């Protein structure tokens, strides 16, 4: 959960502009951006659309009053806004930050739309597939029972000081007592659903003519998952979207699953899963997409 500017990111912004067939009036814009909408963080106790809301405003400003703007989040399981490249922890964002990000992204999207390549008449083809995913390890009842009855508290469970914004963020995310409480709650739920199979993953595909493919993935796929699909797809323009059709938790690559970290060793409990997903789940999703593309 520390900033890693050298990590894998998907810097591509994809834009589709829909115009009226008679007068080319702009009807709608659809943009695909791969980044978590978590600029403001946990210290802002208010409901906010974060930077996507500001992007939508910027897009709509260049459209007719009845035009519609869509922003689809890409495979951004491990990508979030970097507000300070020199920091060793994530800085909490402000209204000024989401204004800046929204303005910059919105202007970029509008510029792309102005130079979009016309496709003309094209057939729209759709497909979907439901996949049975697997768990990374065998589910053992003894593990849940141990956690459920665990009552010991360590010195690390004491609340962390909140003298500055970074400490508040750490307290909200890393407080050991809160994690222990959630582990016990999770263990109780898992004992009740011990024999439940791994979650089903639904993948959807929309192909427009011979040029554009929209891929809709469940859960929080890592950026490299979306990049791999784009590399393997035959369509010149490919949009990879995460967070669709329910969630199966984080979907890291096999390499990242082996490395460990919050997304692979802790977060599955918060998603209500009995274990982390199998290390090959990302490849399973990618292969399913490519197979559907080949028959689309």
Mean pLDDT confidence for 78-90: 86
User: What number is the average pLDDT over the span 192-211?
Assistant: 84
Alpha-carbon distance values, 42 to 63, 168, 223 (Å) = 33, 8, 23
Question: How far apart are alpha carbons 247 and 55 in whole angstroms?
Answer: 25
Q: In what order do the strands lie in the sheet with 212-216?
A: 124-132, 200-208, 212-216, 237-241
**Is residue 169 scored above 90 in pLDDT?**
no
Question: Poorest-confidence range of 82-86, 92-96, 154-158, 235-239?
Answer: 154-158
pLDDT bucket at 150, cuts 50 / 70 / 90: low
Secondary structure letter of residue 181 according to DSSP: H
Residue 148: pLDDT band (50, 70, 90) is low
Q: Is pLDDT of 238 > 70?
A: yes
Higher model confidence: residue 88 or residue 140? 88
Confidence of residue 151 (pLDDT cuts 50, 70, 90): very low
Average pLDDT over residues 127-135: 92
Q: How high is the pLDDT of residue 205?
A: 97
State the pLDDT at residue 146: 65
pLDDT, tens digit (0-9, with 9 covering 90-100), for 19-63: 988 888 899 999 999 999 999 977 777 889 999 999 999 999 989
Is pLDDT above 50 for 156? no
Q: Does residue 196 register a pLDDT over 70?
A: no
Residue range 188-197: mean pLDDT, rounded: 70
pLDDT reported for residue 82: 86
Q: At residue 162, does pLDDT exceed 50? A: no
Q: How confident is the model at residue 122 (pLDDT cuts 50, 70, 90)?
A: confident
CB 166 within 8 A of CB 89: yes
Q: Which residues contact 94 (CB under 8 A, 6 or more apart)?
A: 40
Per mean pLDDT, which range of 6-20, 59-73, 129-143 is the poorest? 129-143
Question: Is 0.85 surpassed by the pTM of this model?
Answer: no
Residues whose CB falls within 8 Å of the CB of residue 272, separated by 6 or more in sequence, listed in order: 186, 189
pLDDT band at 184 (very low <50, low <70, confident <90, very high): confident
């Amino acid at each position: 959960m520390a900033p890693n500017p050298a990590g894998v990111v998907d810097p591509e912004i994809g834009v589709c502009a829909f115009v009226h067939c008679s007068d080319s009036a702009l009807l709608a814009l659809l943009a695909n951006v791969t980044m978590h909408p978590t600029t403001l963080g946990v210290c802002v106790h208010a409901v906010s659309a974060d930077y996507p809301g500001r992007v939508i405003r910027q897009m709509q400003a260049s459209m007719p009053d009845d035009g519609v703007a869509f922003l689809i989040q890409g495979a951004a399981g491990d990508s979030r806004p970097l507000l300070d490249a020199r920091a060793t922890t994530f800085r909490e964002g402000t209204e000024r930050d989401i204004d800046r990000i929204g303005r910059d992204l919105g202007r970029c999207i509008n510029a792309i739309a102005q130079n979009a390549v016309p496709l003309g008449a094209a057939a729209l083809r759709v497909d979907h597939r439901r996949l049975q995913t697997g768990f990374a390890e065998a589910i053992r009842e003894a593990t849940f029972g141990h956690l459920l009855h665990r009552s010991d508290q360590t010195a690390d469970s004491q609340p962390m000081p909140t003298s500055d914004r970074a400490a508040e963020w750490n307290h909200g995310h890393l407080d050991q007592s809160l994690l222990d409480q959630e582990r016990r709650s999770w263990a109780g739920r898992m004992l009740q659903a011990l024999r439940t199979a791994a979650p089903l993953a639904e993948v959807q595909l929309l192909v427009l003519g011979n040029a554009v493919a929209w891929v809709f993935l469940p859960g929080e796929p890592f950026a490299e998952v979306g990049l791999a699909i784009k590399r393997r797809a035959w369509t010149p323009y490919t949009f990879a979207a995460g967070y669709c059709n329910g969630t199966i938790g984080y979907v890291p690559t096999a390499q990242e699953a082996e490395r460990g970290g919050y997304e692979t060793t802790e977060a599955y409990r918060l998603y209500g899963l009995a274990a982390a997903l199998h290390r090959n789940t990302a490849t399973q999703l990618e292969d399913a997409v490519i197979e559907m593309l080949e028959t689309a």
